[in-house]
Structure 1
Amino acid sequence: MTAMPLKNVLITGCSSGIGLAIAVKLAKDEQKRFKVYATMRSLAKQDDLVAAAGRCMGKTMEIKQLDVCCEESIRNCVSGIPDRKIDILVSNAGMGLIGPIECQTIEQMKTVMDTNFFGLVRLLKEILPDMKKRKNGHIVIISSVMGIQGILFNDVYAASKFAVEGFCESLAIQALKFKLQLSLIEPGPVITEFERKVYEDGLKMDLSAADKETADMFTNVYLKNYKSIFQSLGQTAEDVAEHTMKIILAENPPFRHQTNTLYTPMTTLKYADPNGDLPIDTFYKMVFQHDKVFNASLNFIKLLRWRSNKSFDLGKPQS
């Protein structure tokens, strides 16, 4: 069997979570098919990645600085790779934001869009021309099920992922002409430091700008169920990395791939009704009218996963 030639993989957002897991998974590939350029905004946060990579450091993995919100940073990173040759781009860097929009500043919203959407755009403006010239390359974007279907109190985050999905859906047509592959990885809830921070920021949010009913809804409905949803439906970053590697190795990788089969019935509602009323009505009834059934269902799933040793915990918020 002929060995696959070494492929250069550039991954963003590798200091923790999904990015770290993907970088380590590819660098530790037993067949040594990848040279991983694991990047992060601040190299001061590389310790966890270095520890997880172990003997791969300096061999199948190199760590580089890259800030997706800075064109110069992206250019410097890409130019530091031999011949600027990137066979696979894994766009993972992102940030979250939850809560009532009355309590969020426009600047906070712009930062989410700048990182999650324009960060991808900046990467592709720098990397896509070289891929087009070579007529070879795979662009893998860590999107979200919230790029398909909005969720209560995730308005701005969902908007950023919807933007990514629409952008990629348009770009995929052009990519075909240049023999490029483009794949959207769409996880549901994933237990990472990213999610812990989003949750803790939500707990500390100043809700004074919201009316009492909205503030109560966020605190006693959304945040109250947050941990249960993650414990019942959550995946590990390593699980998402496993899915990502399979997509990268696939001969004909799909354009969209959801990593969590437990979540798939919820996103399927979007396609079941062209009017778009079904998913909104279903989520509304599930949250506000049948909350006891909803919680019972989550507890049942959690029990099944606990019995199969697949239960995860967000842990206690930092004091």
Structure 2
Amino acid sequence: RGGQVARLPTIYATLQLKIMPKKTVLITGCSSGIGLALAVKMAKDEQKRFKVYATMRNLTRKDKLEEAAGRTLGKTLEIKQLDVCSEESIKTCVSSIPDRKIDILVSNAGMGLIGPIECQTIEEMRTVMDTNFFGLVRLLKEILPDMKKRKSGHIVIISSVMGIQGILFNDVYAASKFAVEGFCESLAIQALKFKLQLSLIEPGPVITEFETKVFEDGMKMDLSAADEETADMFTNIYLKNYKQIFQSLGQSAEEIHTVKIILAENPPFRHQTNTLYTPMTTLKYADPNGDLPIDTFYKMVFQHDKIFSASLNFIKLLSHLTCWPTVFTSI
């Protein structure tokens, strides 16, 4: 009898898992990077709390996701086509989900663009805004009304620290993320009225195929439309330091702990994933005039480039020490 009593908590927990319905999760941009890592992690959840619909624009790129999903494929994870730039594609995907019930939406699909604006076409800029900003808007126009009716749902947006602080030669990308942040700040007030949760995940540099492609596109950019000084600045300052910044400050897609935010009882509205990057974004709030971060970044890039380079190497070293979080918080 004592053994039976001892087993009761385990039996109760098992029954709870069977009774509790899985939360339906829709994630965009799952062919690689953060989206793929998150979809697989949630599908492989030991407590089987999630049914994941991992979506991507082009299904010919699903091989990596299928391989990473393993036995979860067709069980706790299904792959669907969804293009955030197409209202019809979004509607078709959402309507294919039982009762159109989405408990958690993770808006992750996005694209990058770097370089002097003189060398970028308006069409390229529109495509970035259409994907990064209007892609989110299209998703919410389709999914938000159902969440409001149920008075239940969590909207998770993969934003960026560049939605808070602009960075050299990331003008258009930063603009798209600033738009996302402003849109969500406004929407969050309304969401509270309907008991909905809204969270912005703000990574710094993340080492993924996304970033590799952005860098490669930057390397191939035709700089003939830019003046000599700007072209030299982009090539010999920005691109030259690009890889070093990612090696020093970059996180892997698996380190963007979005699941913790999703499972939090009271998830934060904003969550920066990389504490190494926090001092840079904090500068913005330290000076109401806005001059401090711009002046600081200017000096780091143009006046103290050797110190900046040395600092990155120092950060890289410290980030590998187990005591780094303690060291950082005491500074």
TM-score for both structures, normalised by structure 1: 0.95
SS in 1 for 2:99: helix
Deviations 1:229-250 (A, max 9, x none): 000000000011xx20000000
Pick 1 or 2: higher relative contact order, CA cutoff 8 A, min separation 6.
1
Partner of 2:172: 156
CA deviations 1:197-240 (Å, max 9, x no partner) are 00000000000000000000000000000000000000000011
> Percent of pairs identical after alignment?
87
Matched residue, 1:90: 106
**CA deviation vs aligned residue, 1:33-76 (integer Å, no higher than 9, x gap):** 00000000011000000000000001100000000000000000
Q: 1:260-302: per-residue Cα shift (whole Å, max 9, x none)?
A: 0000000000111111000000000011111111100101122
Q: Which amino acid aligns with 1:67?
A: D
The CA distance in 2 between the partners of 1:286 and 1:113, in whole Å, is 29
CA distance in 2, matches of 1:182, 1:196: 29
Instruction: Specify the structure having the higher radius of gyration (Cα).
Output: 2
Q: 1:207 aligns with which of 223, 227, 233?
A: 223
Equivalent position to 2:278, from 244, 264, 267: 264
Tell me the secondary structure at the aligned position of residue 9 of structure 1: strand
Aligned residues: 307
- Distance between the aligned counterparts of 1:47 and 1:226, measured in 2? 29
Which residue identity does 1:219 align to in structure 2?
T
CA-atom RMSD in angstroms: 1.1
The CA distance in 2 between the partners of 1:112 and 1:193, in whole Å, is 17
Given the alignment, which residue of 17, 22, 29 partners 1:6?
A: 22
Equivalence for 2:157:
141
Confirm whether residue 301 of structure 1 aligns to residue 315 of structure 2.
yes
2:302 pairs, out of 260, 283, 288, with 288
Residue 225 of structure 1 aligns with which residue? Answer: 241
Question: In the alignment, is residue 248 of structure 1 matched against residue 262 of structure 2?
Answer: yes
TM-score normalised according to structure 2 size: 0.91
Deviations 1:64-118 (A, max 9, x none): 0000000000000000000000000000000000000000000000000000000
Whole-angstrom distance in 2 between the partners of 1:138 and 1:175: 10
- CA distance in 1 between partners of 2:46 and 2:79 (Å): 20
Separation of aligned partners in 2, 1:124 and 1:15: 21
Question: How much does 1:305 deviate?
Answer: 3.5
The amino acid that maps onto 1:136 is S
Q: Which residue of 1 aligns with 2:186?
A: 170
Secondary structure in 1 matching 2:200: strand
Amino acid at match of 2:314: F
Counterpart of 1:38, as a letter, is A
Structure 2 residues without counterparts, runs of 5 or longer: 1-12, 325-331
Amino acid in the other structure paired with 1:260 = N
Q: Distance in 2 between matches of 1:5 and 1:304?
A: 43
For 1:214 and 1:181, locate their aligned partners in 2 and report how far apart those are by CA, in whole Å: 43
User: Using the alignment, how far apart are the partners of 1:42 and 1:291 within structure 2?
Assistant: 41
Amino acid at match of 1:254: P
Residue in 1 aligned with 2:61? Answer: 45
**CA displacement at 1:304 relative to structure 2:** 2.9
Match of 2:87 in 1: 71
Distance 2:196 2:189 in 1: 10
1 CA distance for matches of 2:172 and 2:43? 34
Residue 188 of structure 1 aligns with an amino acid whose one-letter code is G
Of residues 265, 268, 273, the one that matches 2:287 is 273
Aligned to 1:194: 210
What amino acid is aligned across from residue 171 of structure 1 in structure 2?
L
Name the CA distance, whole Å, in 2 between partners of 1:264 and 1:69. Answer: 32
Paired residue type of 2:301? V
Residue 105 of structure 2: SS of its match in structure 1?
Answer: strand
3-state DSSP of counterpart to 1:111: helix
Large movers: runs of 4+ above 6 Å? none
1:316 aligns with: none
Distance 1:135 1:268 in 2: 34
